[in-house]
Chains A and B, each alone.
Chain A
């Protein structure tokens, strides 16, 4: 192993529910260096960080700190080793003062547990001074701006004698000035011998701050390079450069009229603006973009979960107003939400009731609900979609992820939608079920349903979409035709590198 490595991860693997998030990943961090970690959504960056900070434990592989193996890592252990992580959203206690936050969890007090307030204030001021923050230690954290809170977090980490600092997208919502200030702090920490892991989607800022860069892709570490010999273009190629390993069941569908159109749609509360998009019958429009680009927010706005304040939504050319999901459903719009386990299905409900939940009106008669009809419908859909279950009365919580998703999809097919919005339809489900869902999507499209598919998986986007709307910063940056789209192009646009020259 490397001589002067502060932290080393060797052939680390981790799977969640059978989905491999990290495979034989390696990382070597030296003291006094800034190492950037880049990769697409789902490439395994977060998992690697979680293993280093002890939030999860690796299935295989080893972790070394100063050459010593780290066994049974836990948040407490990694903290005692001096490993701290700073996230995009500061994790401080808003109703405590800055000094209290900095002192939290490491101040022992005297033998009676009494706190020395003067001491606490002095330490806080000193640490804040080190990160160049002009903040009164007695201020409540809730009164600070986000960049200030970030500095407080760094100060807290320094107070805990951090030897390794991990920054996870620290500049995602910082202004240029705050970013430069953060970089200055990071450089000072580096010269003080702290090892820094720096995760960012902003490739253009990496040359300013990083010494080396490690690229993750599909859970594997692809390469580690010196920052000054690698270009942004090269990094992007390394991030996406894979073969389309899965075969997608894409078939040509005769497109019909425009069913659904968004004109300059915007919503301040959802953080999206100036969305223009038209979808035709039988068309699958993929929505690509990084986390935080506004993809789910767009879906929620269409479905009546967030209030639009600009522009309009047209259904078959007629402007409609959607104030509530119920209205969206009545207009024939269906939304399969992102977080299936949480809200896509009612886990305690049987399969049958889950399938009929959005179409209860159809089952309502004079003598109460038509349970016979409910059984027929549920059996029909479970058969058609291939839900693997002994009976339709089993609770959905007993099903596998893929089968749960099929139940969720059945629910929306039963509403006979003309527009179907799928948010990460195959996230976290196994390969077999994934292919089945893709097959179903084609069948649905062939029936003339317009499909809007949000996905963080570029192969899925490229494999299934007729057109691809790439979102960046709360709006659609570019719409690519299937033939013109490549992973590099999509990622470049999503990262905000290139715009407009492909609009069409």
Chain B
């Protein structure tokens, strides 16, 4: 019973375990401390984005503008840092910018009921090219010393990044399961009209989810920006696809109503590891994207197959009850 409920998450976890086993046999040097640390640090911002994307997909929507929002937040973080703004204020500012961009999406999609794929496509282009126009393609350089790694040592800074990602994951995973709002997200995603008739303010829920998505994008951008001494204006290209892929591989239904954050974590781990794993296995890393695409397809196909299996199982159970 429990197993069948989480079969998608478990399938993804098995795939991840298989990958690690192959690597362990063929290229055990993959498991050296430095490599693992790099992988974790590199994927922490991606995990934060995927958390938000899980919520968005759970309510039956999509957000393809987060890569561009990520760029806006990154550049804003750099620019604000150069004004000498203290860190807490700086973080608040970036969060606010992210939330506002999310709120704009949310208002158009939740309140005006526009299709999210089109709204966020427009935003993807708008923010990306708006930013290019303003920065004229220039990088943000000469960041103040207390910006990189929060002014801490690299090791401590990395610890903070991973700590924040882990904390956010724990808080969201717990909330989704244990708070009323979590239940509402599942209801809205399963059947928006039924949720509305049960008295749930569905436009508000959708709006809120996009605001959270924007805020998390701000956090991810901030944590990413402090790792480097400069911020390229074209940062974050393709991040939305990475996040969506991780969520889908983690077992979420793109039609909404079904997703878990544990699944998303496995999805991020699987897709985030595959590139490095390929290198260690001696396969040309150019294959990374193609293999990621293949993994997404396998996830979707096995999902459909599991669904059909589940339906037969249901029939069997009904038969058993009747007998």
Report which A residues bind B (CB closer than 8 A): 303, 305, 324-326, 328-329, 335, 337, 342-349, 353, 357-358, 360-361, 363-364, 367-369, 390, 398, 411
Q: Which residue of B lies closest to A363 (CB)?
A: B180
B289 within 8 A of partner (CB):
no
Can you pick out 8 interface pairs between chain A and chain B where the beta carbons lie within 8 Å of each other? A305-B196, A328-B199, A329-B199, A344-B194, A361-B180, A368-B174, A369-B179, A369-B183
Question: What's the Cα separation between A343 and B187 when bound, in Å?
Answer: 11
For residues 171 through 197 of chain B, which have their beta carbon under 8 Å from a beta carbon of chain A? 174-175, 177-180, 183-184, 186-187, 190-191, 193-197
Q: Which residues of B contact A348 (CB under 8 A)?
A: 190-191, 257-258
| Pairwise interchain contact A343-B183, C-beta atoms closer than 8 A | no
8 more CB-based (< 8 A) A-B contacts, given A335-B197, A346-B187, A346-B194: A326-B199, A337-B197, A343-B197, A345-B194, A357-B187, A358-B198, A363-B180, A369-B179
Q: Which residue of B lies closest to A394 (CB)?
A: B317
Question: What's the Cα separation between A325 and B200 when bound, in Å?
Answer: 8
Q: Which residues of B contact A368 (CB under 8 A)?
A: 174-175, 177-179
Question: What's the Cα separation between A348 and B58 when bound, in Å?
Answer: 14
B37 within 8 A of partner (CB):
no
Q: Which residues of B contact A325 (CB under 8 A)?
A: 196-199
| Pairwise interchain contact B197-A344, C-beta atoms closer than 8 A | yes
Q: Mark B153-185, 1 if CB is under 8 A from A, else 0.
A: 000000000000000000000110111100110
Question: What's the Cα separation between A199 and B318 when bound, in Å?
Answer: 40
Contact of A390 among B178, B195, B201, B321 (CB under 8 A): B321
Q: Which residues of A contact B321 (CB under 8 A)?
A: 390
Q: Which residues of A contact B190 (CB under 8 A)?
A: 346-349
Specify which of A324, A345, A398 lies most central, judged by the most chain B CB atoms within 10 Å of its CB. Answer: A324
Query: What distance in Å separates the Cβ of A383 from its nearest Cβ neighbour in chain B?
Result: 19
Query: What distance in Å separates the Cβ of B117 from its nearest Cβ neighbour in chain A?
Result: 22
Question: What's the Cα separation between A363 and B184 when bound, in Å?
Answer: 13
Q: Which residue of A lies closest to B175 (CB)?
A: A368
Query: What distance in Å separates the Cβ of B313 from its nearest Cβ neighbour in chain A?
Result: 11
| Pairwise interchain contact B194-A343, C-beta atoms closer than 8 A | yes
Question: What's the Cα separation between A345 and B196 when bound, in Å?
Answer: 11
Q: Which residues of A contact B174 (CB under 8 A)?
A: 368
Q: Mark B192-212, 1 if CB is under 8 A from A, else 0.
A: 011111111100000000000
For residues 274 through 312 of chain B, which have their beta carbon under 8 Å from a beta carbon of chain A? none
Q: Contacts A326-B200, A326-B201, A329-B199: A357 and B193 contacting too (C-beta < 8 A)?
A: no
Q: Which residues of B contact A344 (CB under 8 A)?
A: 194, 197
Q: Which residue of A lies closest to B193 (CB)?
A: A343
Question: What's the Cα separation between A358 and B198 when bound, in Å?
Answer: 5
Q: Contacts A326-B199, A326-B200, A326-B201: A349 and B187 contacting too (C-beta < 8 A)?
A: yes
Q: Which residues of B contact A411 (CB under 8 A)?
A: 198
Query: What distance in Å separates the Cβ of A258 from its nearest Cβ neighbour in chain B?
Result: 25
| Pairwise interchain contact B178-A358, C-beta atoms closer than 8 A | no
Query: What distance in Å separates the Cβ of A326 from its nearest Cβ neighbour in chain B?
Result: 4
B113 within 8 A of partner (CB):
no
Q: Contacts A326-B199, A369-B178: A360 and B193 contacting too (C-beta < 8 A)?
A: no
Question: What's the Cα separation between A363 and B180 when bound, in Å?
Answer: 8
| Pairwise interchain contact B180-A369, C-beta atoms closer than 8 A | yes
Query: What distance in Å separates the Cβ of B184 from its nearest Cβ neighbour in chain A?
Result: 7
Q: Which residue of B lies closest to A330 (CB)?
A: B199
Q: Which residues of A contact B175 (CB under 8 A)?
A: 368
Query: What distance in Å separates the Cβ of A365 from its nearest Cβ neighbour in chain B?
Result: 10
